[in-house]
Each structure stands twice: as structure tokens, then as C-alpha cells.
Structure 1
Amino acid sequence: MWSVTGLLADKVILLAGLGGIGNGLARRYADEGASLVIGDLDADLAQRVAAELGGERVRAVALDGADEQSVIDAVHVAVEAFGRLDGMHVNFTNADDAYLPGGVVELPLDAFDEVMRVNTRGFVICAKHAIPAMLDSGGGAIVFTASIDAYNGAGTRVSYAMSKAAELALMRHIARRYGPRGIRCNAIAPGLIWHYKFDGQPMPDGVVEQARARQMIKSRFGTPDDVAALAALLLSDDGSFITAQTIAVDGGVTFRA
């Protein structure tokens, strides 16, 4: 369990996307003192997580991150409920081609289109509508959950990897364009993060073994808490001189300058 320091006290954060990693993010942000709007396609999940966190500092919304009006509404809830928006973490993803065996030649274009619609267009929509609200608040911080697939190269899941690379390009654009006006933007690139959705779920042959073999840390896989610890820093004033960075949380799978 982490040590709570009040890192996000007085911050208003919109978390777009719950589930495996997202639930851990929500817990950490709430424990660190943030006022939260949490949203997910699964509105019942958002309500359950909000109920678990409790208190007046959490609002749950139904959120389709790839639907512009849905994002506009979520930003509006944050500003109306808490008076400002200081941070946004875009954490949703679509991985329709994650377990397809082929490469680009065999890739179904409907899977490609859906991955890009959610993971690329959706991140653009979130940035487009969160940034003005943050500027009205005097600045803020954005974190994207990306993936080491953005730069590692793989023989499969080409649309997923392409979408994650696009998210990093958007992150750098935001940092450059809006940094002088007080907006920071960074990305976290997780490796295999083990969470409740994997429990009891059959995995393709060799996936777990291959993932462990690639890690320098062999004793365990990453957890949502590992991602949340870094994300809380990046959204906080303690991270106020960090921007335009992609930081891997992968147990040493990647070696990057």
C-alpha cells in the first residue's frame, strides 16, 4: 500500500477510463486528496467505483471518450461540481486487434478503424475540450496511458501500436503548443500490468512466459498501483517541471534514453 501524502490536494482531475488500470488510478487520486470526476463507457462501473471511494469529492459519469458530446459533458461536470479543471488522465483504450494472429496484410479494416477511432480520435477529443477548461483555471496537466507497443515493434497488433504512437505525437504537440500557457502533458507506457481482469482469464499460449522473460524485474508483474504512483506525480505540483515525456512502467522491458 502506498504512503498517502496529499499530493493532489486541491486538484480537480477528470479520469477518462476505468477498469484494470483505471480503478487503481481512481483510488490513488482520491487517496491523494483530489476532487474527481471518473467516467467510463460502463456507467455502472463508474458508479460502483465512486461508491467505493465515497465522499463528496467524487462524481461518476457515463463517458464515451470517442464521442465529442460525452467528453464535453464530462468536462462540464468537473467545472460545475468543483469550479475548475486542473488535470485529465486519458486512460481508455481499444485493442480489437490485440490477439489477432496476422500482420497488416491480414488485418481486418473494421478492427483497424475502431482502434483508431477510439485510441486516436478519442484522445484528440479529450485534449480538445480539456485544455480550454484548464487554461481557464490557470494551467494544468494531462497524462495519457499509452503502451510500450508504441515504439517496441511487434509482428501483430499493428493498429494498436499505430494508435499508441499517435497518442505520443499528440502528447508532444500539446506540451509544445500549450506549455507556455501552463499546460503540461506526459504519457505513461505500461508493459504487462496484471489486474483483476486477468484473474482466471485464459491467456494465449506463451504470452505470460514471454512477458516475464523480457522484464529485468523477474519477481513480479506490474500492478495498477505502479502506474498510479507515477501518474499521481505527473499530475501534481511535484511534477511541475516534467513535460513532453514518455515514461515506461514495464519492469525494464525497454531501455530508452
Structure 2
Amino acid sequence: MAGMQDRLRGRAIMVVGAGTGIGAATVRRLCEEGARVCIADINLAAAGDLASRLGAAGHEVRAVAVDIADEASVGAAFAEAVQWLGSLDGVHVNAADLRTIFADSDALQIDLATFDRTIAVNLRGHLLCARAALPHLLASGRGAIVFTTSDAADAGEPVRPSYAVSKSGLNALMRHLASAWGRQGLTANAVAPGFVLTEEMVAGGQVPPDFIAQCLAAGRSPRLGRSDDIAAMVAHLLSEDGRWINGQVFRVDGGAIL
């Protein structure tokens, strides 16, 4: 068996929402395991900076711009990615408009524009990515797609209904893909991160120390999540080791939800 560092050797993979945070960590992990990676993000500068750093380290990467709420943008991004990669074996769709969460109140109070924007990015945008990727993933014969979802889909929170609905719908979309095309070699899964302290959150001091202490005291792990924790699961699901895993939601949350 090939070593872990070679597990994705020769694989052509696209990560959408990859400029920073979990997406960037996933790109780094995929590169370390030998994949050629297209880094797609609405923030092309961030994607380009990551591509420059990884390219200088000897990895095969390319940055492309994408707005997953826009069908033409999605189509153009996937076309550019496939033209460069030559094929497409895997996709990780990690994009979300997190700004809408702060306006996502409850079913009575929410502005419908907030609901519509949340669905446009977190659900419709993922469908657009799946539609653009599917022909290439099926042609690969070993295609895999992984969505970033959330525990909010099942938590039944008294707030954030738009976000929860979008992620619940995303889980349903993932299972549909696995059911419709699993026999043709496609695997479709989702990863639900717990509270992850991204590099950007740490550097920007965005999370108050008392909140971190509160989360640690309430958790079942001696630490909070890291972007690399999620990247490791995504890499597994995109590799040959994940070929008999299909239609599943994986909670990577340190045991927050049992």
C-alpha cells in the first residue's frame, strides 16, 4: 500500500471555498498527499496567495475565482479547473456566506432576504457545484464529492433557522447524489465540523478567551477543533481509503454531539 503521503498521488481535485480556514487547510493536506489541486474562492486574492505559497513549495496548484451563488461563475470556474487539471476526481465544496448568520434570527423575525441569501449560497450554490462537477466525476470512475455541512442541521436550535434549513437540505442533496450515482462509482459524503478555531480566528483574536474556556469546560475533548482536523477527514473521503463510504454525514467535533 502506498504511504499516506502518496495516498492522493495523481488525483485531480477542486476545493471550493479554499482561500482561508478549513478550505485552505484541506488544500494543504491534499497537496501533502500528492494531489493536484484547483483552489477556488470568491476571494481570488486569498486563493492566489495560497497557490503562490504552495507552488513555491513544489505542489501543483492553481487559483480560480468562483461565486457559487452565480451559475455562470460556477460553470466558468469548473471549466477552467478541468481544462487545467485534465480531469476531475474529487471536489470539496466548503463555501458559505457566514455573514448571514448574524441576521438569522427566528422564523417570525427573519428578513426573507437573509433566508434567500443563505439558501442561495449554502444549498443552491452547492447544487450548482454538484451539477458542474458530476459529468467529470462520473467520467473519472472514482469520483468523490464532499460537502461541509453543520451540526445545526440536526440540533434544533431556537435561532438560525435559515442556516439549519440550508444544511439539512445539503445533507439531503448529498444523500441524493450517493443514491442516484453510487453504482456508477460516485461517492458523496459530508463533514460536520464542531467548533473549529481557524488560523484566521486565532490571529485576529476573534474569539474571547472566556468563550474558549466555556467551550473547553463543556466539551469531551481536551482541546477545540483545528482546521487540520477537518482536512484530514476530507482527505480520507477523497482517497481510495474512502471508496466504500457513501451517503454519510461525519461529525468531526471532539465528541460534542454523541
Verify same fold: TM over 0.5: yes
Residue 44 (structure 2) aligns with: 43
The correspondence of residues 133-144 of structure 1 with structure 2, limited to 5 A, is 133-144=136-147
Indicate the larger mover: 56-65 or 227-236.
56-65
Contact kept? 1:186, 1:246, Cα under 8 Å: yes
Contact kept? 2:64, 2:81, Cα under 8 Å: no
Q: Deviations over 1:139-181 (max 9, x none)?
A: 4000001111111121211111111111100000000001011
Residue 223 (structure 2) aligns with: 220
Instruction: Structure 2 unaligned segments of length 5 or more: list them.
Output: none
AA aligned to 2:47 is A
The correspondence of residues 182-197 of structure 1 with structure 2, limited to 5 A, is 182-197=185-200
User: Is structure 2 residue 62 aligned with structure 1 residue 59?
Assistant: yes
With normalisation by structure 2, the TM-score equals: 0.91
Hey, what's the Cα distance between the residues in 1 that align with 2:74 and 2:104? 33
Distance change (3 Å), C-alpha of 1:101 and 1:114: closer
With normalisation by structure 1, the TM-score equals: 0.92
The alpha carbon displacement at 1:214 in A equals 3.9
Q: Which has the higher helix share?
A: 2
The alpha carbon displacement at 1:138 in A equals 2.2
> What secondary structure sits across from 2:97 in the alignment?
coil
Q: Deviations over 1:210-247 (max 9, x none)?
A: 53344211x21110100011110000001110010100
The correspondence of residues 157-176 of structure 1 with structure 2, limited to 5 A, is 157-176=160-179
Indicate the larger mover: 44-53 or 72-81.
72-81
Hey, what's the Cα distance between the residues in 2 that align with 1:208 and 1:107? 28
Instruction: Structure 1 unaligned segments of length 5 or more: list them.
Output: none
User: Is structure 2 residue 192 aligned with structure 1 residue 211?
Assistant: no
The alpha carbon displacement at 1:197 in A equals 2.6
Hey, what's the Cα distance between the residues in 2 that align with 1:25 and 1:174? 22
User: Is structure 2 residue 238 aligned with structure 1 residue 235?
Assistant: yes
The alpha carbon displacement at 1:100 in A equals 4.2
Hey, what's the Cα distance between the residues in 1 that align with 2:59 and 2:254? 36
The alpha carbon displacement at 1:9 in A equals 0.7
AA aligned to 1:144 is F
Distance change (3 Å), C-alpha of 1:129 and 1:216: same
Contact kept? 1:12, 1:78, Cα under 8 Å: no
> What secondary structure sits across from 1:160 in the alignment?
helix
Hey, what's the Cα distance between the residues in 2 that align with 1:205 and 1:157? 24
Residue 14 (structure 2) aligns with: 14
